[in-house]
Structures are given as structure tokens and as C-alpha cells.
Amino acid sequence: MPELTLDSDAQYLTGVGPQGAKLLRKLDIETVEDLLWTLPRDILDFSHVCAPEDLKPDTPQTVRGKVIDVDAKQLRNNRTLTAVLLDCSSDYVRGLWFNQPWIIKRFFEGQSVLFSGKSKFSQGRWEFSHPEIQWLDEDEDQDAGGLILTRYRLTDGLKVHRLRKMIAAALDAAGDQIVDPLPESFRNRLKMPHLKDAIRMVHQPASKDEYERARKRIIFDDLFEFQLGVALRRRAWRSRQNAPTFDTTAKIDARIRRLFPFQFTNGQDQAIRDIVSDFRSGYAMHRLLQADVGAGKTVVAIYSMLVAIAHGYQAAIMAPTELLANQHWNTLAEVLGESRIDKELLTGSLTPKQRTRVLEGISSGSTQLIVGTQALIQKGVQFKNVGMVVIDEQHKFGVAQRAQFSTEDGPPPHVLVMTATPIPRTLCLTQFGDLDVTVVKDLPKGRQSVVTSRISSGPQKKKAWEFLKEKIRSGRQLYIVCPLVETSKKMEAASAEQTFERMKASLPDCNLGLVHGRVDREERNRTMEEFRDRDIDVLVSTTVIEVGVDVPNATLMVILNAERFGLSQLHQLRGRIARGKHRGYCFLVSDSDSPESNARLAALEDSTDGFVVAEQDFELRGPGDILGTRQHGALPLRFADFLRDETILKQARDEAFLLVRSGEFDEAPFAPLKIKVLDRFSQLLDLPRSG
């Protein structure tokens, strides 16, 4: 039989065969190389397991035993205590958990586990309070001596000990064929092992430290390659030095500020200074403006667009939905009421005749300010001389759409990307890593806070509804947000249509409205206008009101089945109220006993700071749901976890940007790595293949 290579079918490895290969294919493992890159999800460290008699107080240690008793007690003040007793051969050890009653469901008698943490001796027995738990599979429940056992994602019919043997065979057959894309001098400077050694060590570690060192090398590569792509994208953008230069004179500044009946906040002024500096640089601006809900990012956007228009260029603002585009249009109509600026709204709902007229104005340059949805970047839209583009709620779009306003003939426009969904630090280094970042946290003067409370069925709910009715009678308006449009057999949750009918009976003296994604666009806009004009007292809706709806008199919100929403989404919804002079009240209705859901709702009760909320949401749910990357294609990272690997991410970013900025990345030693980066990320990041 010929020597196996990395590309060989895995079935030819010793101990695999056709049946083993069939099991591996369920894990998307086809080749020997696939098998080598099937990394452990974690390890079992038996090297520091202590017998009970060897335990020491307040020292990190591990014990191993079988569950022989599980008990839960109700304490005073509604607190709970869950206790799990382990038989550790020579003695018994107890694990204790306060206020985590759900954890009892994860244990059963006869189960083998490891408890890790600090212990203390109490009432004649060693106890671990809230220990880290590792459950042992049947084949792992053996005398492992001082071994480190790797653990993997499995499939039915494939035991972990067999997968370990398959990987060992792959290492023996082709492990030395792994090529390292990093030059030796670069590896040595960072004190990193060769990639083939890292692969061997991560699968067969001699110690926990060796496993962590190997794992770090592999994860660094994953993040480093992506950050190199981000750095190349930034360089490509910055290389376009023929961007229009706008000098924001004192006269232009004063003329724009006079349009607003209020003083800008310190945060808005700083954002404007950042943008003005970009306008003067000669480079095309590529800036992310993060602002908490209600911090007035639209004011900054309008200012920047008016500067471009003052210099004879067109400006455009693109929103992800027609509702938000209409909101921007209404805001601009109010601000520019006395202005002679020619502006148009371009959305998918225009008639062919209207669209033709709008497109002619855009292409001729007579239309100076354009508001629209993704219709702005569709075929047939040709700008005459667009100099400033604002993309609102960027995470609703695909990453590459930022560049689609560029024209082949004219200079690239300045681009301001805005979001009212505060982005966790690590995500700013990934999805938005090629952008300069400005953060606006302070709220406009007079903006009231929102009191947030979680309520459940029963007396709490009844009391809350009496409070809401009193507020409505005093002239305030109420949102009722539901997770579903209509009742579902598959999901027990409040639907907007059912809630609307129920509320008509419960609030007979109120005018009610209903909006959701299936309501006709014109009817939905009409209902929102009636709510804004105070002709509707109570608006029942789904999350279509999440962004862009500004009704200052709406100070009340009830979110039904709040546990079904993400934390940042709840914060966005909450941001729809208290946008005027009255305090807001948000009630989160939930009967869930899920610890994850309770953690989310508690976080929202504790903080109204969107940046704090975003970090907590990131810790609880990860990046995909927060920025919609699950819908728009998750970043093709293979092994890294943004939250767990934040330190490695920062190192990878620093090294990548230094390498690209210095020009060293374009030299021969890095050529194989550059090809790999472009193969992985050129399409996602809209990179030129030349790098």
C-alpha cells in the first residue's frame, strides 16, 4: 500500500476502514488531514486528582468519584441549596450550589464526575462550593493515572477512545507532512511551536500546559489569518487617497448647527471632530459610530451629510428597513424644513414612474440628499458625485456592502457606519476591525431613564397592569411587544394578533393598533403615523419597532415572553420609550425558570447602559445572535471563540496590522500565508486578490 498523505482518504488509516470512515463522514471528516484538524473540545486532567485525605483548604484541587446522593433544600428568603455527595473510594466529598435548583437535573446516582475548585472541611466532610464539573464517559471512568485525556465531538456509534486511536494513526502516518505557513523567524519571535508539533501536542499532550501551548498556537493562526484579511481590507481602503476633501469652516459649522433647536452633547461634538478630521485627511473615511439607544447618532449623520452637500457633493443614508428609512426621511424633513436642499426617498415600494424620476435626479446630480433602503445599491442606481454615505445599523447588512457605493469613475465616498446596538470589544476587532471607531455614550439633556422590572403571572402582573392603565389615562402611550405574529402549535408564546384581540377586551376605553411584518407596508406605516400622532393609545407589535421608531409620548412598554428575546434586542426595544421628557417604564413578562433566561433579564434590570448590556449579552450568547451573523454567514473561523480567546485575538490583531503596515507581509517568506488568507477571506471581506 502506498504511503498515506494528508489528502488520503481516512479509511486507509490503521483502525479506521470503510465502517469507521462512514462514522467519520458524519463529522465531516473525509481525509487524513481532516482527522488531524479535528481538535479536542476540552481535556480531562487526571494529573492533579487528589484523594479526599490529601485535600487542603482554599487550594485549587480536583477529586473524582461516583454520585451516590442528590438533594435539594429550600432555605430562608427563597434561597435554595443543592447538594451532591460523591463516593471517592477512601471518603465522601460533597458539592454545594446555592440558588441553582436546576443543576439537580444534571446528576444521577452512579454517575462518575470530577469536581474542581477550592474546598473546605465542614461538619466532618470536605465540601466544594460551586465546583467546576466534568462528567466522565464510561470509557473515561478508568484508572487514568497521570494522563491528560482529550475529548472530542462525537457521533452515534463512535466512542471517544476509538476516535483517539484513529487520530493517533493519522499522526503516525502523516503528522510530519503538515506545513507551517508562518516563517521560522516569526514563530521564534513569538515563541510558538511548529504547527506540526502543535497538532501532535494538542491531541497527545504530556501536560495541561503543553495542551494549552499547542491550542494557543492553533487558535492564534485562525485569528491571525482573519486579522490579516481585515488589515489588508483597511490598507486597500486607505490606499484610495483621491477621496474628496471637505474643509468644515466656522461658517458651515454654524449654518448646520442652527438647524437644530438644541445644543449637541459632548459625545456628538467629539464624533463630529473625528469625522471632520477624516474629511480633511485626503483618505476616504471608513468610520464606525457606536451610540447607545437614544444618544443621537442621527444628528451626527445629518451633520456629516450636510458638510458634503455644502461642498457640492451628494450624500446618502441607507437603512435596513423601509420603516427606518421613513423615520430618517421624516427626521430630515423636519430638520431641513426651511432648507433648499433637494432630497429624495428611494425604497422598494416606489411605483416604476416614481423610481424612474428619483433615479434621474440621482444620476444627474440634481438630487443632493438621498434616503433609502438597499434599493440604493441595486442595479440601475448611478450617483453623479456621491461624497458621503451613511450606513445605518450596518450589522443588518452583509460585510461587503460597505464598498458598493464606490464608483469606477469618481473618487470613493466617505463612509460612516452607524449602529445603536453597542458592539462588544472583541467584535469591534473582528467584523468592524477595518474601521476607525467613535463611541457616543452620553444622552441628550432632559432624556429620562427607563425603570425596568421583570414580572411573572399572578399578583405582580395584575399590579403592573393597573399601573399601566393609570399611566395611559394620564396621557401616556404603551407598546406591547410579542415574540410571534400569530399563534403557533410548535411554540408556546404570545402572538401579536391574539394579544391584540385580548387587549381590545381588556382596554375598552383605549384606541389600539397592530403592526407586524405581515401587515401590508402602507397599513403598517399608517398605523405608526397614527401612534406618533397620539390617535392610538396602545400599539401591539412584534420586533418591527426595534429600531427607528421615535414617539416621545410613548413611555410604557410590556414585552411578553421576554425570555425569547436576546439581551441586546431587549435593550433596543426598551430604547423605544422615554425619548421625551417623561420617565419610561418597561415590564419584562416571563415565567421562565431557565437560568440563562433569568441571567439575561436580571442583567437588563440592573443596567440601562447599552455597552454594559452588550458585553453581558456577548458572554451569555456569543457573537452570532448579537450581530446577526448567523443569518448573514458566520465568520469562517475554525477553532477560535471570541470570548474565551480575547487575549489571543488582541495579540493576533496587533501582529497582523504591524505586518501589513510595515509591508513585510508582501515579502517572499509570507507568500504562502498571504495566498491562504486571500483564499479564506477575499470574498467575505471584499478584498482585491492582489492583496
Q: Of 248-262, 416-430, 472-486, where does the model show the most confidence?
A: 248-262
- The three-state secondary structure class of 74 is strand
- Position 628 scores a pLDDT of 40
- Position 496 scores a pLDDT of 87
Residue 153's φ and ψ, nearest 5 degrees, are -70, 130
Residue 581's φ and ψ, nearest 5 degrees, are -90, -5
Residue % of the chain over a pLDDT of 70: 89
Q: What is the CATH classification number for the domain harbouring 264?
A: 3.40.50.300
User: Does 503 lie in the same domain as 357?
Assistant: no
Give yes or no for a contact between 317 and 390, defined as CB atoms under 8 angstroms apart: yes
Tell me the C-alpha distance between 242 and 474, whole Å: 58
Cβ neighbour number for residue 174 with a 10 Å cutoff: 22
Question: Which of 209-213, 393-397, 485-489, 598-602 has the weakest average pLDDT?
Answer: 393-397
Residue 438 has pLDDT above 60, yes or no: yes
- Rounded mean pLDDT of 177-181? 95
Cβ neighbour number for residue 329 with a 10 Å cutoff: 20
Residue 353 has pLDDT above 60, yes or no: yes
Question: Which of 372-386, 404-418, 493-507, 590-604 has the weakest average pLDDT?
Answer: 404-418
- Position 580 scores a pLDDT of 72
User: Does 30 lie in the same domain as 97?
Assistant: no
- Position 636 scores a pLDDT of 58
Give yes or no for a contact between 212 and 668, defined as CB atoms under 8 angstroms apart: no
- Position 31 scores a pLDDT of 95
- The three-state secondary structure class of 151 is strand
Query: How many CA atoms lie within 13 Å of 84's alpha carbon, on the beta-carbon side?
Result: 31
- Position 409 scores a pLDDT of 62
- Position 492 scores a pLDDT of 58
**528 vs 617, more confident:** 528
User: Does 161 lie in the same domain as 106?
Assistant: no
User: Does 409 lie in the same domain as 302?
Assistant: yes
Tell me the C-alpha distance between 388 and 106, whole Å: 56
Beta bridge partners of 312: none
SS (H, E, C) 427-490: HHCCCCCCCEEEEECCCCCCCCCEEEEEECCCHHHHHHHHHHHHHHHCCCEEEEECCECCCCCC
- Position 219 scores a pLDDT of 94
- The three-state secondary structure class of 415 is strand
Would you list the DSSP string of 538-575?
EEEE-GGGSSS---TTEEEEEETTGGGS-HHHHHHHHT
- Rounded mean pLDDT of 364-388? 91
Name which of 654, 474, 434, 656 is nearest 556 in CA terms. 474
User: Does 30 lie in the same domain as 103?
Assistant: no
- Position 506 scores a pLDDT of 86
| Residue 35 identity (one-letter amino acid) | L
Residue 434 has pLDDT above 80, yes or no: no
| Residue 55 identity (one-letter amino acid) | L
Give the DSSP letter of residue 286.
E
- Position 612 scores a pLDDT of 79
**Long-range Cβ pairs for the range 130-134 (8 Å, 24+):** 130/96, 130/97, 130/98, 130/100, 131/95, 133/95, 133/106, 134/42, 134/44
- Position 294 scores a pLDDT of 76
Residue 639 has pLDDT above 50, yes or no: yes
User: Does 257 lie in the same domain as 137?
Assistant: no
- Position 264 scores a pLDDT of 93
Q: What is the CATH classification number for the domain harbouring 114?
A: 2.40.50.140
Residue 632 has pLDDT above 70, yes or no: no
For residue 216, tell me if it sits in a domain: no
- Rounded mean pLDDT of 142-168? 83
| Number of domains forming the structure of the chain | 4
Residue 652 has pLDDT above 80, yes or no: yes
Cα angle 224, 225, 227 (rounded to 5 degrees) comes to 65
Residue 410 has pLDDT above 50, yes or no: yes
- The three-state secondary structure class of 89 is coil
At 518-566, the pLDDT tens digits run 888 788 878 888 998 899 999 999 887 765 567 888 999 999 998 888 8
Binning pLDDT at 50, 70 and 90, where does residue 624 land? very low
**508 vs 304, more confident:** 304
For residue 240, tell me if it sits in a domain: no
Question: Which of 142-156, 168-182, 451-465 has the weakest average pLDDT?
Answer: 142-156
User: Does 156 lie in the same domain as 126?
Assistant: no
User: Does 130 lie in the same domain as 90?
Assistant: yes
- Position 627 scores a pLDDT of 37
Radius of gyration (Cα) for the chain, nearest Å?
30
Tell me the C-alpha distance between 311 and 414, whole Å: 13
Cα angle 192, 194, 199 (rounded to 5 degrees) comes to 105
**243 vs 490, more confident:** 243
**237 vs 690, more confident:** 237
Q: Of 108-117, 541-550, 627-636, where does the model show the most confidence?
A: 108-117
Question: Which of 253-262, 308-317, 677-686 has the weakest average pLDDT?
Answer: 677-686
- Position 266 scores a pLDDT of 93
Range of the domain at 59: 48-144
At 185-219, the pLDDT tens digits run 999 999 999 999 999 999 999 988 999 999 999 99
For residue 326, tell me if it sits in a domain: yes
For residue 662, tell me if it sits in a domain: no
| Residue 440 identity (one-letter amino acid) | V
**680 vs 513, more confident:** 513
User: Does 477 lie in the same domain as 390?
Assistant: no
For residue 670, tell me if it sits in a domain: no
**492 vs 62, more confident:** 62
For residue 244, tell me if it sits in a domain: no
At 1-27, the pLDDT tens digits run 568 999 999 999 999 999 999 999 999
Sign of the alpha-carbon dihedral angle for 25, 30, 35, 37: negative
- Rounded mean pLDDT of 261-271? 92
User: Does 377 lie in the same domain as 499?
Assistant: no
Sign of the alpha-carbon dihedral angle for 112, 114, 120, 121: positive
Tell me the C-alpha distance between 546 and 450, whole Å: 16
User: Does 495 lie in the same domain as 399?
Assistant: no
- Helices 567-574 and 595-606: angle between axes, nearest 10 degrees: 40
For residue 653, tell me if it sits in a domain: no
For residue 389, tell me if it sits in a domain: yes
pTM of the entire structure?
0.68
**Long-range Cβ pairs for the range 599-603 (8 Å, 24+):** 600/563, 600/566, 600/567, 600/570, 601/454, 601/562, 601/563, 601/570, 602/454, 603/567
Give yes or no for a contact between 46 and 149, defined as CB atoms under 8 angstroms apart: yes
Would you list the DSSP string of 318-375?
E-SSHHHHHHHHHHHHHHTTT----EEEE-TTS-HHHHHHHHHHHHHS---EEEESGG
DSSP H helical ranges for 175-247: 184-190, 195-203, 208-238
Domain boundary among 408, 440, 472: 440
* Cell numbers 490583531: residue: 653
Tell me the C-alpha distance between 562 and 541, whole Å: 14
- Rounded mean pLDDT of 336-344? 90
Residue 629 has pLDDT above 50, yes or no: no
Domain boundary among 621, 639, 664: 621
Q: Which residues of 629-641 are buried (b: 16+ CB within 10 A; e: fewer)?
A: beeeeebebeebe
At 669-683, the pLDDT tens digits run 999 999 999 888 777
- Position 602 scores a pLDDT of 86
Q: What is the layout of strands, in order, in the sheet containing 343-346?
A: 343-346, 369-372, 314-318, 386-392, 414-419, 286-291, 436-440
User: What is the enclosing helix (H) or strand (E) of 317?
Assistant: strand 314-318
Do you know the residue count of the chain?
691
User: What is the enclosing helix (H) or strand (E) of 504?
Assistant: helix 496-506
Tell me the C-alpha distance between 377 and 359, whole Å: 12
Binning pLDDT at 50, 70 and 90, where does residue 269 land? very high
**491 vs 596, more confident:** 596
At 655-665, the pLDDT tens digits run 999 999 999 99
Name which of 584, 564, 565 is nearest 479 in CA terms. 584
Domain boundary among 571, 588, 621: 621
Q: How high is the mean pLDDT of the chain?
A: 85
Binning pLDDT at 50, 70 and 90, where does residue 407 land? low
Name residues whose C-beta falls within 8 Å of residue 351's C-beta, 6 or more positions apart in sequence: none
Tell me the C-alpha distance between 326 and 349, whole Å: 11
User: Does 282 lie in the same domain as 423?
Assistant: yes
Q: What is the CATH classification number for the domain harbouring 7?
A: 1.10.150
